Structure 1
Amino acid sequence: MFMAIRELRHAKTRYILISLIMVLIAWLVLFVTGLAQGLSSDNASSIQTMNADYLVLQHNSDQRLTRSTLEHHTLEEVKQQTANAEATPLGVQMSTVTSDYNDKRIDVTYFAINPQSMLAPQVVEGHMINDSSSLEAVVDRSLKEKGLKLGDVIHDQASGQAFTIIGFTKGQSFSHTPVVHINFADWKSIHQNRSIKEDELAFNAIAVKGTKEIADGIKTQVSGVEVISKSQSLQGIPGYKEEQGSLLMMVAFLFIIAAFVLAVFFYVMTIQKMSQFGVLKAIGAKMSYLARGLISQVLMLSIISLAIGIGLTYGVSLLLPESMPFELNAGVITICTILFLFVSLLGSLLSLYRVAKVDAIEAIGRAA
């Protein structure tokens, strides 16, 4: 550590430039990761935050909520298998609405729920709907950015029904559209003009809160259904898997590029110091001492760069508009920090190998 600090003080400019590059890499990695998490939340936050463990869908629905149609007798069969667990229906319908405020069309997703069930979202403004409410809705607060407020009326373009906004929720989106929560009485009203039997339109899924044993029991005892976890249902949201796959690939390549860049920088600097390492070896310095000095340098530069990169990322996130999906929590930062430190140490292995192979006599000869 003593040798590492002395060298950092001696060659300030060189290490400042390396730190700057590491800061930019860390900043880019964290920012892209924040965008990936933000897009994931914007695409599926209503499912991610749902107070359920499993979803029961129609068989062969490809794990997609919008392709599933379940009847009332299926709900009764599922409830018989859930014992003390809770099971409640969920209706999902993507649609387009307008408001009295303006004629601009807004894509939304209706979630039909029992307001007293575990699927009821937390209301941050206004109040929750109930079973007896008629043509009232609780909507995601992202609609406030479009000029809507409590008491405004939205008009469903497909059915012509008008819903009064009585509450706002937070973090309730599906397939990049805000979720509009309604009760099942209103759910039936937006389908009453369609030429399909009403019982076939009852709901799309059954949310179950329980153990894996209960889920397996439903799978074997109830015919015509498939039981999937919440994480599996995310893969069925249109575009979710492809979007997240592309962004995660970008993050992975950024870490790989960071490992190569850091390896090259430290290797070049190590080559420039071969004569000094040779002299240290000649006077009795052990390889473990030299390795600790090199690893200490890498860790100090990485930690300082990460701290600055995290600060820059949070600073820029405060300047981003509310409409831009960006989310970076402590857990994600911890994982990125560990990975960045790992690739930094991985990049220093080539330098350590070169130091281990240096010949003291030859290095002293070059220094002379």
Structure 2
Amino acid sequence: MYLAIREMRFAKVRYSLIAIIMLLVAFLVLFVTGLARGLAYDNAASIQNMNASHFIMEKDSNHRFTRSQVTEQVLNQAGSVAGHENVQPLGVRMTTMTAEGTAGKLDVTILGMNPEGWLMPKVTEGAAIPSNGSGRVLVDRKLKDSGVIVGTVLLDQASGLKWTVSGFVSHESFSHSPVVILNEQDWQQLQSLAAMRPGTGQSEDGKIYNAVAVQATKHQAEQLAAALPDSEIVTKSDAVSAIPGYKEEQGSLWMMIIFLFIISSFVLAVFFYVVTIQKSSQFGILKAIGTRTAYLVRSVTLQVLLLSVGSLLISMLLVEGMKSVLPDGMPFLLESSTLAYTSGAFIAVSVVGSLLSVWKVTRIDALDAIGRSAA
């Protein structure tokens, strides 16, 4: 440790340049990771926030809510297996609305659910919607940016129905669109109007949902699959992955992150290899006077660790500062768990990048190095 720190103090400019490069790479990795996680959450926040382990969907719906239709009979059958308190109906419909008193159109996702059930998110402003009665909705806070306030009347362009905003919820979005939450009565009214259009189905009692949310164990999920052969039991993670554009969007961003890790590994490997070559004679002299190779290897590895950890700490501060100036509409999320494993991966990649230098140190011959130094 003494040798590593003393050498870094002596060659300040050289190691400062390496530290700056590592800092920029670490900042870029953390920032892109935060964007990837933010986009993933913005794409499926409502589904991820639901306290459900599985969803029952129509067979051959490809795990997509908007392609699925299940009846109240499926809801009752699921309740008899998993317990009626552990199942909740869920409606999902993407549409376009207009808000009275504002200009422009709003692309939103309508969610129909039981206001007293465990699917209902917490109201952050205004009042909750009742289970009975109609015409009141909860909306995501993002719609405030479009001029929507409590009491605003929303018009669904597809059905012609109107609802009044009763309150706001936070972090509720689906496929990057803010959510509008209806109670079951309003949802069934919307479904009844949709059923009048050609090519749409409707059950005898008119109650159609897109899915049934379930709180179930693995064993109960297997029982549900056996009891509902015409339906699919979909895990929450599979339902999230099936949201249109989710996998493609995340695949592109994570490919960028992986390449950043690979590039950083190569950059560090080249820098430290060049530095090691330049110090070959010094390493040879140290070996000649009895310094063990393991000590020199630890010195090189410690330098990499100090630079990578220091760069990470500074980059974390820069990312936090960047978060504070990002516009509200830009999705950015960097949880402590994501930060921990990203930082760990960066440090691991840095150490792997130094292995070429470590190999070079072990190959240095003391006599050859002294000869070159004398020449």
TM value normalised by structure 2: 0.96
Residues 191 and 208, structure 2, Cα contact 8 Å, conserved in 1: no
**TM-fit CA distance, 1:128:** 1.6
Match of 1:106 in 2: 106
C-alpha RMSD of matched pairs (Å)? 1.2
User: Counterpart of 1:26 in 2: which secondary structure?
Assistant: helix
Counterpart mapping for 1:2-17 below 5 A: 2-17=2-17
Q: 1:107-149 CA deviation, whole Å, 9 max, x = no partner?
A: 0011100111110101111122121141110111000111111
Return the alpha-carbon distance in structure 2 between the equivalents of residues 366 and 228 of structure 1: 68
Q: 1:262 corresponds to which letter in structure 2?
A: L
Cα distance in 2 for residues equivalent to 1:172 and 1:47: 8
Unaligned runs of at least 5 residues, structure 2: none
Whether the 8 Å contact between 1:188 and 1:198 is mirrored in structure 2 is no
TM-score normalized by the length of structure 1: 0.98
Secondary structure in 2 matching 1:216: helix
Does the Cα contact within 8 Å between 2:102 and 2:146 map onto a contact in 1? no
Q: Deviations over 1:288-335 (max 9, x none)?
A: 111111111111101110011111111111111001111111111101
Q: Is residue 175 of structure 1 aligned with residue 175 of structure 2?
A: yes
Cα distance in 2, alignment partners of residues 248 and 134 from structure 1 = 44
For the pair 1:164 / 2:182, whether they are aligned, the reply is no
Hey, what does 1:77 align to over in structure 2?
A: 77
Equivalent residue, structure 1, for 2:50 = 50
2:346 matched to 1:340?
A: yes
Matched residue pairs, number? 368
Residue identity opposite 2:222 in structure 1: D
The alignment-based identity, stated in percent, is 47
Alpha-carbon offset, residue 193 of structure 1:
2.7
Quote how far apart the aligned CAs of 1:198 are.
Answer: 4.2
Higher alpha-carbon deviation: 270-279 or 102-111: 102-111
| 8 Å Cα contact 2:114/2:184 also seen in 1 | yes
Q: Which moved more, 1:188-197 or 1:175-184?
A: 188-197
Is 1:85–1:208's contact at 8 Å kept on the other side of the alignment?
no
Return closer, same or farther for 1:191/1:150 CA change in 2, 3 Å cut-off.
Answer: same
Runs of 4+ in 1 over 4 A off after TM superposition: none
Q: Residue 261 of structure 1 is aligned with which of 260, 263, 267?
A: 267
- Equivalent residue letter for 2:116: Q
- Secondary structure of 2:37's match? helix
1:4-153 alignment runs, 5 A limit:
4-83=4-83, 86-153=86-153
Task: Give the unaligned 5+ runs of structure 1.
Answer: none
Could you report, residue by residue, the CA deviation over 1:247-275 in whole angstroms, capped at 9, with x for unpaired residues? 01110110011100000000000000000
1:102 aligned counterpart, secondary structure: coil
Aligned counterpart in structure 2 of residue 250 of structure 1, from 241, 246, 256: 256
What is the rounded CA distance, in whole Å, between the counterparts of 1:323 and 1:169 in structure 2?
A: 16
Tell which deviates more after alignment, 124-133 or 76-85: 76-85
SS at match of 2:70: coil
After superposition, what is the alpha-carbon deviation per residue over 1:155-185, rounded to whole angstroms, capped at 9, x for unaligned?
Answer: 1111111111111111100001001111111
Secondary structure at 1:89 match in 2: strand
Corresponding residue number in structure 1 for 2:312: 306
2:138 touches 2:167 (CA, 8 Å); kept in 1? yes
Give the Å deviation of 1:242.
0.4
How far has the Cα of 1:84 moved from its partner? Answer: 7.3
Equivalent residue for 2:372?
Answer: 366
Per the alignment, in what secondary structure is the counterpart of residue 190 of structure 1? Answer: helix
Query: 1:224-267 deviations in whole A, cap 9, x for unaligned?
Result: 10001110001110000100011011101100111000000000
**Equivalent position SS for 1:192:** helix
User: 1:14-69 CA distances to partner (integer Å, 9 max, x unpaired)?
Assistant: 11111000000001101111110111011000011111100000111000010000
Work out whether residues 92 and 111 of structure 1, in 8 Å CA contact, stay in contact via their aligned partners in 2. yes
- Distance of 1:294 and 1:344 partners within structure 2: 12
